[in-house]
Amino acid sequence: METVQAIFTQLGVDSSLLPQFIIVVIVFALAQFLFLGKLQEVLETREEKTVKLENSADDTLEKVTRMQAEYKSKIDVANREALNTLTARKQKVSQKYTEQYKQTEREVNQFIDQSRNEFHKEVEQNKEKYLSEANSLAQSLVQKILQ
């Protein structure tokens, strides 16, 4: 105990220590009541809201991810439907024009066959005519050579 008294004496502690200690305790109590208690409430409220916002942010991110996946699936479905519609319309138009093309081709082939047949008939008619003329021309040539 003597060492403690020697340390206190070296530090300059005297009889005013007790009133100073009481003043410090009273100031601490007042600070606790007026300032530190309110500060503690603010810190707790802030932490609660921050953690709650963090959880809310996680929920929002999860919701955004879910909505993004849903959006992507709907876009894929819409693209497939558009492609199917486009393909169906393309086939319909292609079928229509293919049918028109085949009809026109049949008409052209019919015309060609008819023209060919008419030409063959004309050639046959002219062939007989020219062959008959050829006999008479050959006879007249033979007579001229003989004369």
- The answer to whether residue 36 sits within a structural domain is yes
Stretch 22-40: mean pLDDT: 89
- Check whether 56 has a pLDDT greater than 90: no
At residue 135 the predicted structure's pLDDT band, cuts being 50, 70 and 90, is: confident
Most confident among 10-24, 61-75, 126-140 (mean pLDDT): 61-75
Residue whose entry in the numeric block shows the structure tokens 């558009």 = 82
pLDDT in tens, 69-98: 999 999 999 999 999 999 999 999 999 889
Of 34, 14, 38, the closest CA to residue 26 belongs to: 34
Segment among 13-17, 45-49, 93-97, 100-104 with least mean pLDDT: 13-17
Identify the H or E element spanning 86: helix 37-146
Residue type, 47: E
At residue 7, the pLDDT reads 85
- The answer to whether residue 26 sits within a structural domain is yes
User: Quick count: other Cβ atoms within 10 Å of Cβ 109?
Assistant: 10
- The answer to whether residue 4 sits within a structural domain is no
Which sign does the torsion angle of CA 52, 56, 61, 63 carry?
positive
Domain hosting 33: range is: 17-146
Which sign does the torsion angle of CA 92, 94, 95, 99 carry?
positive
At residue 19, the pLDDT reads 86
- The answer to whether residue 90 sits within a structural domain is yes
Residue type, 136: S
- The answer to whether residue 39 sits within a structural domain is yes
Most confident among 16-20, 36-40, 104-108 (mean pLDDT): 104-108
As a whole-number percent, the residues of the chain with pLDDT over 90 amount to 37
Stretch 13-25: mean pLDDT: 84
- The answer to whether residue 6 sits within a structural domain is no
Q: How far is CA 61 from the centre of its chain?
A: 21
Question: For the chain, what is the domain count?
Answer: 1
- The answer to whether residue 27 sits within a structural domain is yes
Q: What is the pTM of this model?
A: 0.41
Alpha-carbon gap, residue 121 to 129, rounded angstroms: 12
- The answer to whether residue 3 sits within a structural domain is no
